[in-house]
Amino acid sequence: MSTATTPEAPPTTSTAVEKKGGFTAAAANYIDERTSVSTMVKELGRKIFPDHWSFLLGEVALYSFVVILISGSFLTFFFQAAMTPVIYDGSYVPLKGIEMSTAMASTLDISFDIRGGLLMRQVHHWAALLFVASIGLHMMRIFFTGAFRKPRELNWVIGFVLFILAMAEGFTGYSLPDDLLSGNGLRIIDGMVKGIPIVGTWISFLLFGGEFPGEVIVGRLYTLHILLLPAIIVALIALHLLFLVVHKHTQYPGPGRTNMNAVGQPVLPVYAAKAGGFFFIVFGIIMLIASFFTINPIWNYGPYDPSPVSAGTQPDWYIGFADGALRLIPPGLEFVWLDRTWSFNILIPLAALGLFIVLAMIYPFIEAWVTGDKREHHVLDRPRNVPTRTAIGAAGVTFYAGLWAAASSDIIATHFKLTMEGVIHSLQFVVIVGPFIAYFVTKRVCLALQKKDRELVLHGFETGRIVKLPGGEFIEVHEPLTDYERWRLVSYTDYEPLMIRPNSQGRITVGQRLRAGFSRWFFEDRISPVTKTELEAAHGHHDTHHELDEKSAH
């Protein structure tokens, strides 16, 4: 590890080092003597990162964020966040002579009249889509492997807040060009805000500086988009990564891997090189996509005007679940009461989505409360070994996916030649009943996989080799697992349903009962890992190749 870039001991004199290591060593020494950076490099450089493809998903999010920052900075040089009306006189013929806001005109100029502008716009937008998508996949990895357990609950919450901030960044950015599509999107948000009883109208007026659309909203969104939200995101990313370093990285179960160690590559030199190279791979893929595929063609949409609404108006994918909720809510839930309109067709989706988001955010605490497990966990769960959690996750994914799909209900209808009503009703079914189906199916699949694992550990693989014993009996020879394979299959935590016990006052509290109920729900159906005794018992009578000879001997 003692390369020139990681000076380990402060040298006595600088001349001695110069002779030994040349310029690099001298420079490193110069910096170290003034910053004491070597302690940090030593600490970080020896940080161990286990290798698994799914551990790179968070990195994808980080790298696409860097790409967003770079391309976004380029765009700020040319974008003008003002809603002053101007007559467009740029290169795009079908918009020449049309009145539009300065924001729209400058975005068109970026697209048609500034060298590299369109590429940068497309890089920025594609990278933003990839950013949120990779966060989503990263979160699913964390959830299904139980990486949010102690000590990482807070980091889950930070990550979740980052996910919400990323969506906010996306939405504010989507609204900036002031084109027809984004204007429609803003109008939907305005409608949702106005649907909140009593305060809604005032919040909307505050946001838009008067009646929608007004002349200030683009400027305000721009401040949020390039100043406030990125600053918070950068700060939270720093905190997220700091926690990652403090906690050590998690690892999948395997031979030699325990909660006390981390098995993998040190950051320096190989892992750092890999990660650095991976940044350029992600950057390269974004550039390729942005070069070949149009995104957000605002020249098609034209300037925002409250009167036209285009068919097939949708938000970017990550806001789709909210749009879908509005599309799926049945009509007729709006009524006048106390001289006010109560728009339950807006309030119910808002409440449902709010509840969903909050539940997902605090899930680590709920699970910790149910299991009562206060231990630290650095070894990940295989999803099948925690059937209830995996099933809950599958139910959540189904709910989200149903809402998400509903945002494209019209496109599904036209492209699959279905009726719109049919699509809407099917998706209502998916969103309401789908999660339960997903829950039960997933749980059964997990339990079945656990049974299969158990079978493998106890009896080994079937070899397909049939042997006739001297007594005339036919048996199939089973190949036992190697110690390494067996380790992976048997080393997991087995929780049992909580017993209700009276507390120190001799009373059984409601909280206790509730917790016991949850615990029963979580752990009633379970497959225990194979114990040593079971294993020995199985091998005592079983027909491995070696034992076969013994058996045939007597």
**Residues in 291-330 that interact with other proteins by CB under 8 A:** 291-297, 299-302, 305, 307-318, 320
Please tell me whether residue 94 binds other proteins under the rule CB under 8 A.
yes
Please tell me whether residue 157 binds other proteins under the rule CB under 8 A.
no
Shortest CB 294 distance to other proteins, Å? 3
Task: Report the site for other proteins in 194-253 (rule: CB under 8 A).
Answer: none
Please tell me whether residue 192 binds other proteins under the rule CB under 8 A.
no
Task: Report the site for other proteins in 132-151 (rule: CB under 8 A).
Answer: 133-134, 137
Shortest CB 264 distance to other proteins, Å? 10
Residue with tokens 């940080």: 47
Q: Cis omega before residue 177 (within 30°)?
A: no
Binding residue for other proteins, selected from 16, 242, 418, 514, defined by CB under 8 A: 418
Shortest CB 80 distance to other proteins, Å? 21
Binding residue for other proteins, selected from 34, 115, 374, 417, defined by CB under 8 A: 417
Shortest CB 163 distance to other proteins, Å? 15
Please tell me whether residue 371 binds other proteins under the rule CB under 8 A.
no
Q: Which stretch binds other proteins (CB under 8 A): 7-15, 37-45, 289-297, 456-464?
A: 289-297
Beta bridge partners of 335: 342
Quick one: 120 or 379, whose CB is closer to other proteins?
A: 120
Task: Tell me how far apart the alpha carbons of residues 446 and 454 are, in angstroms, rounded to a whole number.
Answer: 12
Alpha carbons within 13 A on the beta-carbon side of 324? 29
Q: Using CB under 8 A, count the residues that bind other proteins.
A: 72
Cβ–Cβ < 8 Å for 174, 323: no
Shortest CB 182 distance to other proteins, Å? 10
Quick one: 23 or 293, whose CB is closer to other proteins?
A: 293
Quick one: 5 or 313, whose CB is closer to other proteins?
A: 313
Task: Report the site for other proteins in 422-481 (rule: CB under 8 A).
Answer: 422
Task: Report the site for other proteins in 95-134 (rule: CB under 8 A).
Answer: 95-98, 111-112, 118, 122, 126, 129-130, 133-134
Task: Tell me how far apart the alpha carbons of residues 79 and 177 are, in angstroms, rounded to a whole number.
Answer: 9
Shortest CB 131 distance to other proteins, Å? 10
Alpha carbon of residue 6 to chain centroid? 34
Please tell me whether residue 331 binds other proteins under the rule CB under 8 A.
no
Distance in Å from the first CA to the final CA of the chain = 59
Binding residue for other proteins, selected from 67, 147, 181, 431, defined by CB under 8 A: 181
Collapse the DSSP code of 475 into the 3-class scheme (helix H, G, I; strand E, B; otherwise coil) and give the result.
strand
Cβ–Cβ < 8 Å for 397, 321: no
Alpha carbon of residue 500 to chain centroid? 36
Quick one: 176 or 391, whose CB is closer to other proteins?
A: 176
Quick one: 279 or 365, whose CB is closer to other proteins?
A: 279
Cβ–Cβ < 8 Å for 97, 86: no
Token representation of residue 459: 């009896």
Residue whose C-alpha is closest to residue 163's, from 68, 240, 242: 240
Quick one: 50 or 364, whose CB is closer to other proteins?
A: 50
Binding residue for other proteins, selected from 9, 13, 93, 536, defined by CB under 8 A: 93
Q: Which stretch binds other proteins (CB under 8 A): 4-12, 54-62, 73-81, 524-532?
A: 54-62
Quick one: 170 or 200, whose CB is closer to other proteins?
A: 170
Shortest CB 478 distance to other proteins, Å? 28
Cβ–Cβ < 8 Å for 148, 373: no
Shortest CB 208 distance to other proteins, Å? 22
Shortest CB 217 distance to other proteins, Å? 20
Residue 435: which residues within 8 A CB-CB, separation 6 or more? 395, 396, 398, 399
Quick one: 183 or 480, whose CB is closer to other proteins?
A: 183
Q: How far is CA 407 from CA 182, 322, 333, 347, in A?
A: 15, 8, 20, 18
Q: Which long-range contacts (CB under 8 A, 24 or more apart) does 342-351 make?
A: 342/197, 343/195, 345/195, 346/191, 346/192, 346/195, 346/196, 347/195, 347/196, 347/197, 349/322, 349/325, 350/192, 350/195, 350/196
Q: How far is CA 357 from CA 113, 170, 370, in A?
A: 42, 17, 20
Give the per-residue contact string, 55-84, with other proteins (x = CB under 8 A; - = no): xxx--x------------------------
Binding residue for other proteins, selected from 83, 105, 403, 407, defined by CB under 8 A: 407
Binding residue for other proteins, selected from 18, 33, 51, 547, defined by CB under 8 A: 51
Cβ–Cβ < 8 Å for 124, 68: yes
Shortest CB 137 distance to other proteins, Å? 6
Residue with tokens 């959540």: 396
Task: Tell me how far apart the alpha carbons of residues 352 and 115 are, in angstroms, rounded to a whole number.
Answer: 46
